[in-house]
Amino acid sequence: MKLLLTAAAKSVHRAAFYKSSARYLNSLANSGLKAEPLLMVGSSRALVHRLGTQVEVRSAFINEEEEAELLRELEPGLKKKRYEFDHWDDAIHGYRETERVTWGAACQTILARVRSVAFASGSSLLGPVHVLDLDKTGYIKPHVDSVKFCGSTITGLSLLSDSVMRLVKADSPSEWLDLLLPRRSLYILRDQARYDFTHEILKDEQSLFNGQRVPRQRRISVICRNLPA
Ligand code: OGA
Ligand code: MN
């Protein structure tokens, strides 16, 4: 009984420990004014602090109307494609995707806001926006985006579903960071978080954040990248 209590107390302590680092990160990202729910947990407090300036998750970055606007524009094109399940060597399983250069006015406004928070003004961006539609059973395996085509920053809006993004240090897999990506949130990965860590989107069966289940539905991401220097 004593042992059990000790273990339970330890795990409560651990949860509180990460929660406070994650709160600190959220307060950095949001000027400390809003009480944000926990969106990041990591293998150590040091790692959470170190990566803190290079990883951001902003919940409710778009509202329901803006999400609907994006879907209205994206669905017709996506629906013409089949989900790909058979390329087992690909980084992504159960997906269809498209790239879009021209957007309607409402979506342009949303994308301008994404770019203004994620990229320094005057940086060169990859022209087409990448749209990735993951089936409910789809997932993204650990990978690092090509350094040939993509620069130091990757930012993405998540539509239709919550999900968990996991970052793992490529040369030291015991170092990891889990991000809760709520539906309609924006994430930003920069620098080391983008180059030295793999990122992945967990499949439904493994979709846990901080020990809590995060059911995965179909998920569409709208991803902007800058160009390599
Ligand atoms: C990718 C990727 C993440 C996402 O397409 O390279 O990692 O949010 N996507 O869909
Ligand atoms: Mn990627």
Contact 221 CB / ligand 1 (< 6 Å): yes
Contact 155 CB / ligand 1 (< 6 Å): no
Contact 162 CB / ligand 1 (< 6 Å): no
- Find the radius of gyration of the CA atoms of the chain: 18
Contact 132 CB / ligand 1 (< 6 Å): yes
The confidence score (pLDDT) of residue 101 equals 96
Taking the chain (229 residues) in runs of 10, the rounded mean pLDDT of each run is 36 39 43 68 96 94 98 98 85 96 97 97 94 98 96 98 98 98 98 98 98 98 97
Give the pair of three-digit tokens for residue 129.
Answer: 């926006």
**Residue among 143, 196, 136, 195 at smallest CA distance from 165:** 143
Contact 140 CB / ligand 1 (< 6 Å): yes
At 96 the three-state DSSP class reads: strand
The confidence score (pLDDT) of residue 32 equals 45
Q: How far is the CA of 57 from the centre of ligand 1 (A)?
A: 14
Contact 199 CB / ligand 1 (< 6 Å): yes
210: left (phi over 0), alpha (psi -120 to 50) or beta: left
At 90 the three-state DSSP class reads: coil
Q: How far is the CA of 133 from the centre of ligand 2 (A)?
A: 13
Q: CB–CB of 167/197 below 8 Å?
A: yes
- Pocket probe mutation, ligand 1, options 98, 132, 166, max atoms within 8 Å of Cβ: 132
Provide the terminal-to-terminal Cα distance of the chain, rounded to the nearest Å: 59
The residue whose CA is least distant from atom 1 of ligand 1 is: 145
**Residue among 223, 225, 215, 218 at smallest CA distance from 79:** 218
Q: CB–CB of 68/75 below 8 Å?
A: no
The confidence score (pLDDT) of residue 37 equals 82
Ligand nearest to the CA of 201: 1
Ligand nearest to the CA of 200: 1
Task: Write the CA distances from 197 to 6, 95, 180, 190, 203, integer angstroms.
Answer: 34, 23, 17, 10, 19
